[in-house]
Amino acid sequence: MEVGICKQDMLQKKKNAVLVDGVILNGPIMDSKAGEKFVEEACKIIMEEVIQKANDVTEKVCEWRAPETLKKILDLEMRDTGESHQKLLQLCQDVIQYSVKTSHPRFFNQLYAGIDYYSLVARFITEALNPSVYTYEVSPVFLLVEETVIKKMIEFIGWEEGDGIFNPGGSVSNMYAMNLARYKFCPEIKEKGLSSLPRLVLFTSEECHYSMKKAASFLGIGTENVYFIKTDERGKMIPEELEKQVQRARKEGSAPFLVCATAGTTVLGAFDPLDEIADICEKHGLWLHVDASWGGSALISRKHCRLLHGIHRADSVAWNPHKMLLAGIQCCALLVKDNSGLLKKCYSAKAAYLFQQDKFYDVSYDTGDKSIQCSRRPDAFKFWLMWKALGTTGLEERVNRALALARYLVEEIKKREGFQLLLEPEYANVCFWYIPPSLRKMEDGPEFWQKLHEILQFSASQAFGLCSARSESHDEAVQF
Amino acid sequence: MEVGICKQDMLQKKKNAVLVDGVILNGPIMDSKAGEKFVEEACKIIMEEVIQKANDVTEKVCEWRAPETLKKILDLEMRDTGESHQKLLQLCQDVIQYSVKTSHPRFFNQLYAGIDYYSLVARFITEALNPSVYTYEVSPVFLLVEETVIKKMIEFIGWEEGDGIFNPGGSVSNMYAMNLARYKFCPEIKEKGLSSLPRLVLFTSEECHYSMKKAASFLGIGTENVYFIKTDERGKMIPEELEKQVQRARKEGSAPFLVCATAGTTVLGAFDPLDEIADICEKHGLWLHVDASWGGSALISRKHCRLLHGIHRADSVAWNPHKMLLAGIQCCALLVKDNSGLLKKCYSAKAAYLFQQDKFYDVSYDTGDKSIQCSRRPDAFKFWLMWKALGTTGLEERVNRALALARYLVEEIKKREGFQLLLEPEYANVCFWYIPPSLRKMEDGPEFWQKLHEILQFSASQAFGLCSARSESHDEAVQF
């Protein structure tokens, strides 16, 4: 271990050494110069191997290895004694080499759309400062930044005022909303729990994100009490079906309390008709949550914000700037229309050791009592720095570009033999089949679909094989 | 905006330009060279202003400003057009200047104990690669690292096998455990919810972390169904009181299902007697969760691990390496003794679009169905790289040093007039009063405590005032 310092040396150097329980208390724990040098050298590797190669299509997306092989390559074991800086830097190289380059222009997966240099810098600052955003005295800058970002996001939703909190993901945002709606419906649940209460029921479309089921089970509501509403051929919730299900729930004697609409479904990218759903919510006194984790970013685009028409009528909205806007994982806000302190009332535990009410500054800046977490990362900051750098116009261009690319892909699919578009997309999700030549003349039916599935399976594993072979330089018209 | 590229320029340069919906699709979104340069310049600032100053006592802990003042200093507003790189770098400088330096040797707050260069490098790598740890094909390295780290942590707990998941905080770990225990008690709750079920009751000490109440309310159990068990004069749960409360709950007809013991309480640093509590849990068939978020790190020390004697009998353990071990916020594991897939059974939503069962590799490496999150950060990685660098021995030294420092502080308090030790500490928490000269001869009573409180209030705001004045270089024997 290079950084360790020999105790004998230290004792000789420092006459006033304080030894307690065999530990020398004064003097540095580690050689900070060596530590800084290590950080510098590692940053050089990160710069060269990750950041400078981020946009380079001649690089590999991933040096694919199966789990058992990768285990043998990486020296994973943690031992009693530490490794040298040289060995550690090699380890960092290996970690980078065998990791997926999520910023690569040819990496197609949920969430990713390239590198953003500004949010990256914000994230480096965050890691170096290592803050926790629960009280103003520990995170003055980051709490003000979060407040500013939340206000701005609320503006785009179209509320006059509101509240909100950044949290670890869209799934967690949806849980927050579900719990808030339940608290609003019956504040006693916070103390009494659900036992002996009528059965709570919530509604969401059959195309919703799976976090709805996770949330219902986590919160003690139960997945069976999530009533899935039929969608139309484009994957949008059918309002008439929602109305029917609410009435059915009432007849059953259960207690409907929440509708979760989706703005940008996971698979089809469909947007539920928010305005019509809001009418039903108003009529029945139901909380309207919009899971806009994926679709929320369209609000930034004057051209595409109409996709979320009616969102200003929602009681809460989940919106993840870490997706289409590239703010880096994780950057997720739950936004709440209520501005009377509902978030705090619902989540407070009033821990005296952290959230004293008699501090020497305005404690309304402390957010700890709005959160299910204690320590919390300043995820708003990366979105803020990116927004400062690009301006609203720059963010808008990102959204417009993503949707234009999807449009282009659709046209290309239509032109090419063997490609079959599933439906005209509303958003950036383009669903299509590739039919290999051997199946193109085959009749549609169970046998056709089984064969197609088998071939696609095989192609996926082949594709991963191909990732390992260095791809040659291409100068294609468009890289998706 | 320096990085933006003029459309006209691009069209001229590229004859094959593809224009869709007013967006040029081919060609870079931003000038990557300028982006890289920005990252390099920002990294230089981070290196100079944060990392190189991390251990320097002559630097300020915080340039304190009240919220309204700080808002005026920082240019928080996000505008339509972006800012120049020069302005952005100045912003980064300001953010750093007015943030609390949590690694500063004189920063005393929950969680923090200085800078660790290795975990910092791991975090920089993570941010640059921007992974999400849900499936092996997206995060091959980080999932294997998490598996390795969890196995190693389980070894230190003393289980023969087990499972686990890194998640965003000790509070969330405790929620996971509470929900797991509930699922184990009655698997039907996942689908049916709690309505019409008997009242579930859990037990924890009155000195427990506030996340227990938050979890009980979030999960629909209700805070009133958390039975707080009396503690002895050192803040430890009294086993006889636990036994009484379990019997009381049974007599009431409610359903006890869980005991949450604490290893290292928030205020006093007390360790509940795990062995005796485990006996009671066994007798009554209750799940034993140990919240070792704070105290878990003592397991690494051969000298101090006896504090957690009996922890191997727990069903689940929360342990945060981001505290005493310095792994950087957040780094928190929930560890589960069960190895029959309980974590997956309890949390799965079986989303077909992510967690296909017919992939070309062993899908048991996919962790998405063990988590309440969808995208998830690779927090195990920073702990792993730090462990590789320091070895178990180096981590052990950190724990031993922290406890030796606490020991030293206790002795200093005893020596000095006006300081009053509350109790002999078990761990690194040292609780004491400072009695100013004017109150030292006053009789103990309500008036005394009110005056003391007023003075401490005033001192706290003065201390923040002092932070702003540059402290001079000191060469004290020990810096806490």
- pLDDT tens digits, one per residue of B117-132: 999 999 999 999 999 9
Per-residue pLDDT band at B146 (split at 50, 70, 90): very high
Instruction: Identify the closest residue of chain A to B186 by CA–CA distance.
Output: A220
Work out the minimum CA distance from A256 to partner chain B, whole angstroms: 13
A125 close to A359: Cβ distance less than 8 angstroms: no
Please tell me the predicted confidence (pLDDT) of residue A467.
39
Per DSSP, which regions of B206-338 are E strands? 226-229, 255-262, 287-291, 316-319, 332-336
> CB distance from B273 to chain A under 8 Å?
no
What is the phi-psi region of residue B170: left when phi exceeds 0, alpha when psi lies from -120 to 50, beta otherwise? alpha
Per DSSP, which regions of B407-479 are E strands? 419-421, 432-434
User: Which residues of chain B make contact with A192, given a CB cutoff of 8 A?
Assistant: 222, 224-225
Please tell me the predicted confidence (pLDDT) of residue B16.
77
- Main-chain phi, psi angles of A259, to 5 degrees: -120, 125
Helix (H) or strand (E) holding B19: strand B19-20
Please tell me the predicted confidence (pLDDT) of residue A453.
84
Arithmetic mean of pLDDT over chain B: 89
Please tell me the predicted confidence (pLDDT) of residue B361.
84
The DSSP-derived string for A152-178 is: HHHHHHT-SS-EEEEES-HHHHHHHHH
Work out the minimum CA distance from A351 to partner chain B, whole angstroms: 6
The stretch A396-404 carries a mean pLDDT of 95
pTM above 0.90, yes or no: yes
Look at A175 and B397 and tell me if their CB atoms are within 8 Å: no
Work out the minimum CA distance from B438 to partner chain A, whole angstroms: 23
Per-residue pLDDT band at B459 (split at 50, 70, 90): low
For chain A, domain boundaries: 26-107, 123-388, 392-463
B193 close to A224: Cβ distance less than 8 angstroms: yes
Question: Parallel, antiparallel, or unpaired: how do β-strands A332-336 and A163-167 relate?
Answer: antiparallel
User: Which residues of chain B make contact with A223, given a CB cutoff of 8 A?
Assistant: 190-191
Arithmetic mean of pLDDT over chain A: 89
Q: Which residues pair with A433 in a beta bridge?
A: A420
Please tell me the predicted confidence (pLDDT) of residue B108.
83
- pLDDT tens digits, one per residue of A114-141: 899 999 999 999 999 999 998 898 999 9
Look at A358 and B118 and tell me if their CB atoms are within 8 Å: no
Look at B189 and A217 and tell me if their CB atoms are within 8 Å: yes
- pLDDT tens digits, one per residue of A289-346: 999 999 999 999 999 999 999 999 999 999 999 999 999 999 999 999 999 999 999 9
- The rounded distance, in Å, linking the Cα atoms of B162 and A220 is 25
Question: B29 pLDDT exceeds 50?
Answer: yes
Instruction: Return the biggest CA–CA distance within chain B.
Output: 89
Look at A88 and B30 and tell me if their CB atoms are within 8 Å: no
Please tell me the predicted confidence (pLDDT) of residue B480.
27
Q: Which residues pair with A271 in a beta bridge?
A: A263
Give me the residue from B145, B407, B461 closest to A76, CB to CB.
B145
Please tell me the predicted confidence (pLDDT) of residue B462.
55
User: Which residues of chain A make contact with B91, given a CB cutoff of 8 A?
Assistant: 385, 388
Half-sphere exposure of B157 (CA within 13 A, CB side): 34
Per-residue pLDDT band at B327 (split at 50, 70, 90): very high
DSSP conformation class of A312: G
Please tell me the predicted confidence (pLDDT) of residue A234.
96
Question: A447 pLDDT exceeds 80?
Answer: yes
Please tell me the predicted confidence (pLDDT) of residue B164.
95
Of chain B residues 424-453, which have a CB less than 8 A from chain A?
A: none
> CB distance from B455 to chain A under 8 Å?
no
pLDDT cut 70: percent of chain A above it:
91
Question: B326 pLDDT exceeds 60?
Answer: yes
Query: What are the start-end ranges of the H helices in A23-84?
Result: 32-45, 67-73
User: Which residues of chain B make contact with A362, given a CB cutoff of 8 A?
Assistant: 67
Per-residue pLDDT band at A27 (split at 50, 70, 90): low
Residues present in chain B in total = 480
pLDDT cut 90: percent of chain A above it:
76
Work out the minimum CA distance from B140 to partner chain A, whole angstroms: 6
Tokens of B224: 């009133």
Question: A479 pLDDT exceeds 80?
Answer: no
Lowest mean pLDDT among A352-356, B162-166, B317-321, B399-403: A352-356
Site from B86, B127, B265 to mutate, A interface, most A CB atoms within 10 angstroms: B127
- pLDDT tens digits, one per residue of B195-216: 878 999 999 999 999 999 999 9
Please tell me the predicted confidence (pLDDT) of residue A352.
73
Question: B469 pLDDT exceeds 50?
Answer: no
- pLDDT tens digits, one per residue of A40-75: 999 999 999 999 999 889 999 999 999 999 999 999
Work out the minimum CA distance from B383 to partner chain A, whole angstroms: 10
Question: Is cis: bond before A330, omega within 30 of 0?
Answer: yes
- pLDDT tens digits, one per residue of A156-177: 999 999 999 999 999 999 999 9
> CB distance from B38 to chain A under 8 Å?
yes
Cβ–Cβ pairs < 8 A, chains A and B: 519
- The rounded distance, in Å, linking the Cα atoms of A249 and A116 is 46
Per-residue pLDDT band at A21 (split at 50, 70, 90): confident
> CB distance from A349 to chain B under 8 Å?
yes
Question: B476 pLDDT exceeds 50?
Answer: no
Please tell me the predicted confidence (pLDDT) of residue A351.
75
> CB distance from B465 to chain A under 8 Å?
no
CATH number of A123-388: 3.40.640.10
Question: Is cis: bond before B450, omega within 30 of 0?
Answer: no
Instruction: Identify the closest residue of chain A to B352 by CA–CA distance.
Output: A210
Per-residue pLDDT band at A474 (split at 50, 70, 90): very low
Give me the residue from A170, A359, A405 closest to B25, CB to CB.
A405
- The rounded distance, in Å, linking the Cα atoms of A152 and B71 is 15
- The rounded distance, in Å, linking the Cα atoms of B166 and B173 is 8
Please tell me the predicted confidence (pLDDT) of residue B390.
96
- The rounded distance, in Å, linking the Cα atoms of A317 and A290 is 5
Half-sphere exposure of B262 (CA within 13 A, CB side): 30
Question: B377 pLDDT exceeds 80?
Answer: yes
- pLDDT tens digits, one per residue of B36-58: 999 999 999 999 999 999 988 99
Per-residue pLDDT band at B28 (split at 50, 70, 90): low
- pLDDT tens digits, one per residue of B240-284: 999 999 999 999 999 999 999 999 999 999 999 999 999 999 999
Of chain B residues 356-375, which have a CB less than 8 A from chain A?
A: 358-362, 365, 372-375
Please tell me the predicted confidence (pLDDT) of residue A113.
86
Work out the minimum CA distance from A294 to partner chain B, whole angstroms: 13
Surface-to-core class of residue B292, CB atoms within 10 Å of its CB (0-12 exposed, 13-18 middle, 19+ buried)? buried
The stretch B146-165 carries a mean pLDDT of 96
The DSSP-derived string for B400-421 is: HHHHHHHHHHHHHHHHSTTEEE
Site from B118, B367, B476 to mutate, A interface, most A CB atoms within 10 angstroms: B118
Could you give the angle at the alpha carbon of B242 between the alpha carbons of B241 and B247, nearest 5°? 100
> CB distance from B462 to chain A under 8 Å?
no
Please tell me the predicted confidence (pLDDT) of residue B470.
31
Lowest mean pLDDT among A216-225, A461-470, B328-337: A461-470
Could you give the angle at the alpha carbon of B292 between the alpha carbons of B247 and B376, nearest 5°? 115
- The rounded distance, in Å, linking the Cα atoms of B387 and B151 is 13
Please tell me the predicted confidence (pLDDT) of residue A477.
29
Site from A118, A262, A377 to mutate, B interface, most B CB atoms within 10 angstroms: A118
Per-residue pLDDT band at A28 (split at 50, 70, 90): low
- The rounded distance, in Å, linking the Cα atoms of B73 and B98 is 10
DSSP conformation class of B74: S
Site from B58, B369, B375, B462 to mutate, A interface, most A CB atoms within 10 angstroms: B375
Which residues are CB-contacts of B345 (< 8 A; sequence separation ≥ 6)? B183, B187
Please tell me the predicted confidence (pLDDT) of residue B352.
73
Look at B169 and A373 and tell me if their CB atoms are within 8 Å: yes
Q: Which residues pair with A334 in a beta bridge?
A: A165, A318
- pLDDT tens digits, one per residue of B171-193: 999 999 999 999 999 999 999 89
Give me the residue from B3, B193, B353 closest to A222, CB to CB.
B193
Instruction: Identify the closest residue of chain A to B116 by CA–CA distance.
Output: A35
Surface-to-core class of residue B186, CB atoms within 10 Å of its CB (0-12 exposed, 13-18 middle, 19+ buried)? middle
Q: Which residue has the higher pLDDT, B359 or A8?
A: B359
- Main-chain phi, psi angles of B206, to 5 degrees: -70, -10
Please tell me the predicted confidence (pLDDT) of residue A462.
55
Tokens of B465: 């005032």
- The rounded distance, in Å, linking the Cα atoms of B381 and B387 is 10
Tokens of B475: 């060469």
Site from B13, B124, B219, B221 to mutate, A interface, most A CB atoms within 10 angstroms: B124
Look at A111 and B375 and tell me if their CB atoms are within 8 Å: yes
Look at B139 and A100 and tell me if their CB atoms are within 8 Å: yes
Residues present in chain A in total = 480
Per-residue pLDDT band at A149 (split at 50, 70, 90): very high
Please tell me the predicted confidence (pLDDT) of residue A478.
29
SS (H, E, C) chain A: CCCCCCHHHHHHHCCCCCEECCEECCCCCCCHHHHHHHHHHHHHHHHHHHHCCCCCCCCCCCCCCCHHHHHHHCCCCCCCCCCCHHHHHHHHHHHHHHCCCCCCCCCCCCCCCCCCHHHHHHHHHHHHHCCCCCCCCCCHHHHHHHHHHHHHHHHHHCCCCCEEEEECCHHHHHHHHHHHHHHHHCCCHHHHCCCCCCCEEEEEECCCCCHHHHHHHHCCCCHHHEEEECECCCCCECHHHHHHHHHHHHHCCCEEEEEEEEECCCCCCCECCHHHHHHHHHHHCCEEEEECCCHHHHHHCCCCHHHHCCHHHCCEEEECCCCCCCCCCCCEEEEECCCCCHHHHHHCCCCCCCCCCCCCCCHHHCCHHHCCCCCCCCCHHHHHHHHHHHHHHHHHHHHHHHHHHHHHHHHHHHHCCCEEECCCCCCCCCCEEECCHHHCCCCCCHHHHHHHHHHHHHHHHHHHHHHHCCCCCCCCCCCC
The stretch B393-404 carries a mean pLDDT of 95
Question: Parallel, antiparallel, or unpaired: how do β-strands A255-262 and A432-434 relate?
Answer: unpaired
pLDDT cut 90: percent of chain B above it:
76
Look at B328 and A115 and tell me if their CB atoms are within 8 Å: no
B354 close to B135: Cβ distance less than 8 angstroms: yes
Please tell me the predicted confidence (pLDDT) of residue B475.
31
Please tell me the predicted confidence (pLDDT) of residue B104.
92
Look at B125 and A152 and tell me if their CB atoms are within 8 Å: no
B67 close to B473: Cβ distance less than 8 angstroms: no
- Main-chain phi, psi angles of A414, to 5 degrees: -65, -35
- The rounded distance, in Å, linking the Cα atoms of A6 and A20 is 17
Q: What is the ipTM of this complex?
A: 0.91
Tokens of B390: 């320091």
Question: B3 pLDDT exceeds 80?
Answer: no
Per-residue pLDDT band at B1 (split at 50, 70, 90): very low
